[in-house]
């Protein structure tokens, strides 16, 4: 009898514990981070000041930023400076008094906005510089290591041109002289070319504001002077469409190696397929967009005084050549999420 | 000055040799002569100093690099001779031609696409013309505003990207900017054809004479019974059509149309070519020869500087200095006074 009671008690206890466990499993737990996290974004505002909308780069970044803003419920706005540095400076000046929480800015050159960005940070606005930076470091920078792009392009040129058959003549088609994409890229070219004795930098010319028609005419003139040109180091895919047109017209598209860089959009693959360029360094806009969104989230959560943390995220570069190409590697606005 | 203009008239469709003899043979120095001499001096200097400058290949390349600028200069010349200015030319170059590329890429067919582009260009010209001729808004403000408006229309939704690439559907007409005909690039031929057509229009047709008349003295023009306002509208329609043509040549040539060019300094280059060549902004003077010589001078300077691998900033500086020298020389040799000054001088 005693034994039976003991057994019954044990069974009851077991059942009790079992029920308790079941009840425990049914009652959910709060994620302690979640509420604070989402509360961070309420009523906050992020403003993007690009050099120019309507380019694959800026439209791509903006789409990625806008979709995160919609998801997390903060305001996102674009103030296009329309390729006009003065207009951009004016936008920044008015933003300093409007006080959004974060400004994402793409700088037309290394100097113009520097003072304004400093003022903005002093006014308590976190500034993230995107792909084109000034010489003043703000809360964040997301973008390519332009010097490294230059080095990669120059290495491709050295690989083709430094052998004995070719004299190794190289043309550099840069962007606007004060743009970070001209100054730092040229540094990268020089790092490699100066260390390669077989190479001869015959001409360094600016394409103005990345004008493809200018790239075309410079290429034509230089080809006249140097019919044995071996490689062209271009600054941006959209510009080098003109470079490629000049080579195709002169019938030297096979002789001259064109290297260029860009965001890795549709044009990158189209250019490789059509032989416009044979070496393409992509700074991967979808990847940059993700980095950018991460920095925006960090900036919106940061409770420390503005300027106390500074983060630089150089984008991992991806190199496209005709051998490594598959269409799926190039993005379009529709494939961006 | 009046007399010089009459003499210059003779050079309208003439070749470079006739122009040269005109320069050397007659005593008067106006800006056309000064710039022609400047051009010859720089050309000879480059030929001696720069190896590879004086070669057929390079000279054709030189022409090719400035052919679009020259075509635009011809269109601008008509408006400037009629005492106006068309600052919307670059927008008219970019937006209608980019529209043609976009439509063709969407499968509209070559003829409808080009037709729609041309219609857009003509309507921009008509709008400019009506605002200037009938609403009597100064052309400077009208065309500035219309240009910004047209560029804005392009930006807000006509195109997916600001840089529109040349679609394979249009390859049938790509020759207008690409390739060459017996060694002469088609874009140079396009400039030549445009120069001849506009030269004939200005010098050999009644409406061409009306353009000069409307620029020289609008009041007297109206008194003589010339339909002044329709003539003004016509000028802007022609310049728009010329800009559209230049746009198609440029798009074919660089295999894309970069509609951002509206924001760049192209329009100043076009005015530079026209003014440098000696077409006064006060209207009624000059012709096709002025545009050709202005274009050649700019082309030669830029070509030489590129060969010498001079930096971009320096090239801009030199270009500015040359314009300054040409304008200074003109105002020293032909000083303005009450007799030569016209109402409407800028």
Residue B291 belongs to a domain? yes
Evaluated on CA atoms B9, B15, B16, B18, the torsion sign reads negative
pLDDT of residue B4: 42
pLDDT of residue A11: 64
Q: What is the CATH number of domain A146-282?
A: 3.40.50.2300
pTM of the model: 0.83
* Contact (CB, 8 A) for A41 and A74: yes
Q: What angle do CA A259, A260, A261 make, to 5 degrees?
A: 145
Residue B346 belongs to a domain? no
Residue B39 belongs to a domain? yes
- Among A203, A212, A218, select the one facing B254 at the smallest CB separation: A212
Task: Tell if the CB–CB gap between B313 and A212 is shorter than 8 Å.
Answer: no
Task: State how far the Cα of B36 lies from the Cα of B17, in Å rounded to an integer.
Answer: 12
pLDDT of residue A141: 96
Q: Which of B53, B255, B263, B313 to probe by mutation at the A interface, max A CB count within 10 Å?
A: B255
CATH topology of A34-143+285-316 equal to that of A146-282? yes
Which stretches of chain A drop beneath a pLDDT of 70?
Answer: 1-26, 164-166, 327-328
Chain A's closest residue to B183, CA to CA, is A250
- Among A52, A59, A224, select the one facing B57 at the smallest CB separation: A224
Residue B223 belongs to a domain? yes
**Helices B186-204 and B228-254 meet at what angle, rounded to 10?**
170
Chain A's closest residue to B308, CA to CA, is A203
**CB environment B255-292: b (16+ within 10 A), e (fewer):** bbbbbbbbbbebbebbbbbbbbbbbbbbbbbbbbbbbb
Residue B344 belongs to a domain? no
Task: Tell if the CB–CB gap between B306 and A177 is shorter than 8 Å.
Answer: no
pLDDT of residue B261: 82
pLDDT of residue B20: 44
What is the residue-level pLDDT of chain B in tens, covering all 346 positions? 344 444 443 344 444 444 444 444 444 567 788 889 989 999 999 999 998 899 998 999 899 989 999 999 999 999 999 999 999 999 999 999 999 999 999 999 999 999 999 999 999 999 999 999 999 999 999 999 999 999 888 877 788 788 888 998 998 898 888 888 888 889 999 999 999 999 999 999 999 999 999 998 888 999 999 999 999 999 999 999 999 999 999 999 888 898 888 777 788 889 889 988 888 788 888 899 999 999 999 999 989 998 998 888 888 898 888 878 877 777 777 676 665 555 555 4
Nearest CA distance, A216 vs chain B (angstrom) = 7
pLDDT in tens, A221-237: 999 999 999 999 999 99
Task: State how far the Cα of A80 lies from the Cα of B263, in Å rounded to an integer.
Answer: 13
Evaluated on CA atoms B96, B99, B104, B109, the torsion sign reads negative
**CB environment B297-322: b (16+ within 10 A), e (fewer):** bbbbbbbbbbbeeeebeebeeebeeb
Using an 8 Å CB-CB cutoff, list chain B residues near A333.
Answer: 160
Beta-sheet strand order (sheet of A45-49):
A75-78, A45-49, A102-105, A126-130, A140-143, A311-314
Residue B339 belongs to a domain? no
Chain B's closest residue to A80, CA to CA, is B155
Nearest CA distance, A90 vs chain B (angstrom) = 17
CA A29 to each of CA A23, A33, A37, B201: distance values in angstroms, whole numbers, following the listed order: 13, 12, 17, 85
- Those residues with Cβ within 8 angstroms of residue B175's Cβ, 6 or more apart along the chain or in another chain: B186, B252
* Contact (CB, 8 A) for A176 and A206: yes
**Count of domains in chain B?**
1
DSSP assignment letter at A219: H
Burial of B91 (0-12, 13-18, 19+ CB in 10 A): buried
pLDDT in tens, A267-310: 999 999 989 999 999 999 999 999 999 999 999 999 999 989 99
Task: Tell if the CB–CB gap between A212 and B258 is shorter than 8 Å.
Answer: yes
pLDDT in tens, A15-38: 656 555 555 556 788 888 888 889
Residue B341 belongs to a domain? no
Using an 8 Å CB-CB cutoff, list chain B residues near A208.
Answer: 264, 312
Q: What is the CATH number of domain A34-143+285-316?
A: 3.40.50.2300
* Contact (CB, 8 A) for B295 and B301: no
Containing structural domain, residue B22: 2-333
* Domain residue ranges of chain A, discontinuous segments joined by +: 34-143+285-316, 146-282
Tell me which residue of B274, B287, B281 sits closest to B69, measured CA to CA. Answer: B274
What count of other Cβ atoms lies within 10 Å of the Cβ of residue B96? 29
Q: Is B42 helix (H, G, I), strand (E, B) or coil?
A: helix
Task: Tell if the CB–CB gap between A206 and B312 is shorter than 8 Å.
Answer: yes
Residue B328 belongs to a domain? yes
pLDDT of residue B206: 94
Chain B's closest residue to A182, CA to CA, is B312
User: Helices (H) and strands (E) in chain B — how many of each?
Assistant: 14, 4
Task: Tell if the CB–CB gap between A224 and B61 is shorter than 8 Å.
Answer: yes
- Among A212, A220, A241, select the one facing B65 at the smallest CB separation: A220
Residue B217 tokens read as 């003295």
A275 touches chain B (CB under 8 A): no
């Amino acid at each position: 009898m005693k034994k039976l009671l003991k057994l019954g008690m044990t069974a009851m206890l077991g059942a009790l514990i079992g029920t308790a466990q079941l009840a425990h499993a049914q009652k959910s737990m709060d994620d302690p981070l979640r509420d604070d996290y989402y509360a961070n974004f309420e009523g906050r505002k992020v403003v993007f000041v690009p050099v120019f909308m309507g380019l694959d780069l800026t439209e791509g970044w903006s789409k990625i930023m806008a979709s995160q803003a919609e998801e997390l419920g903060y305001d996102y706005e674009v103030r296009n400076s329309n390729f006009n540095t003065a207009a951009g400076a004016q936008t920044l000046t008015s933003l300093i008094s409007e006080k959004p929480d974060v400004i994402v800015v793409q700088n037309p050159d290394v100097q113009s906005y520097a003072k304004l960005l400093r003022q903005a940070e002093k006014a308590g606005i976190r500034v993230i510089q995107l792909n084109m930076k000034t010489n003043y470091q703000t809360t964040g920078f997301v973008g390519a290591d332009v010097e490294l792009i230059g080095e990669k392009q120059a290495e491709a040129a050295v690989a083709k041109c430094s052998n004995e058959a070719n004299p190794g003549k190289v043309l550099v088609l840069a962007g606007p002289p004060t743009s970070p994409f001209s100054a730092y890229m040229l540094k990268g070219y020089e790092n490699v070319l100066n260390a390669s004795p077989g190479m001869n930098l015959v001409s360094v010319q600016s394409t103005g504001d990345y004008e493809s028609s200018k790239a075309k005419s410079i290429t034509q003139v230089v080809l006249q002077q140097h019919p044995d040109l071996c490689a062209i180091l271009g600054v941006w895919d959209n510009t080098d469409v003109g470079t490629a047109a000049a080579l195709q017209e002169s019938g030297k598209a096979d002789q001259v190696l064109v290297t260029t860089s860009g965001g890795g959009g549709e044009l990158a693959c189209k250019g490789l397929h059509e032989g416009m360029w044979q070496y393409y360094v992509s700074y991967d806009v979808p990847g940059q967009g993700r980095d950018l969104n991460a920095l925006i989230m960090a900036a919106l959560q940061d409770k420390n005084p503005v300027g106390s943390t500074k983060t630089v995220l150089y984008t991992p570069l991806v190199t496209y050549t005709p051998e490594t190409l598959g269409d799926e590697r190039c993005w379009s606005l529709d494939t961006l999420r | 000055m009046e007399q010089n203009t009459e003499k210059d008239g003779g050079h309208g469709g003439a070749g470079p040799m006739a122009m040269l003899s005109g320069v050397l043979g007659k005593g008067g120095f106006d800006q056309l002569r000064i710039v022609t001499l400047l051009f010859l001096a720089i050309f000879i200097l480059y030929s001696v100093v720069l190896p590879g400058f004086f070669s057929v290949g390079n000279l054709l390349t030189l022409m090719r690099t400035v052919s679009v600028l020259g075509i635009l200069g011809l269109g601008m010349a008509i408006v400037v001779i009629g005492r106006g200015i068309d600052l919307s030319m670059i927008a008219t170059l970019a937006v209608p031609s980019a529209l043609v590329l976009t439509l063709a890429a969407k499968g509209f067919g070559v003829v409808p696409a080009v037709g729609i582009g041309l219609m857009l260009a003509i309507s921009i010209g008509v709008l400019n013309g009506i605002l200037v001729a009938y609403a009597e808004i100064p052309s400077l403000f009208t065309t500035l505003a219309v240009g910004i408006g047209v560029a804005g229309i392009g930006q807000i939704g006509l195109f997916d990207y600001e840089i529109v690439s040349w679609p394979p559907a249009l390859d049938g007409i790509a020759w207008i900017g690409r390739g060459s005909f017996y060694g002469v690039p088609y874009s140079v031929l396009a400039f030549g054809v445009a120069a001849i057509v506009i030269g004939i229009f200005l010098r050999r047709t009644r409406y061409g004479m009306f353009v000069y008349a409307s620029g020289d003295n609008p009041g007297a023009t109206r008194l003589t019974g010339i339909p002044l306002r329709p003539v003004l509208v016509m000028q802007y329609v022609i310049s728009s059509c010329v800009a559209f043509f230049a746009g198609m040549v440029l798009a074919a040539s660089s295999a894309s149309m970069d509609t951002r060019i509206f924001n760049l300094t192209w329009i100043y280059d076009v005015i530079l070519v026209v003014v440098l060549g000696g077409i006064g902004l006060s209207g009624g003077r000059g012709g096709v020869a002025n545009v050709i010589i202005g274009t050649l001078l700019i082309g030669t300077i830029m070509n030489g500087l590129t060969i010498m691998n001079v930096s971009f900033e320096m090239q801009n500086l030199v270009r500015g200095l040359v314009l300054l020298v040409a304008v200074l020389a003109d105002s020293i040799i032909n000083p303005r006074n009450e007799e030569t000054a016209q109402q409407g001088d800028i």
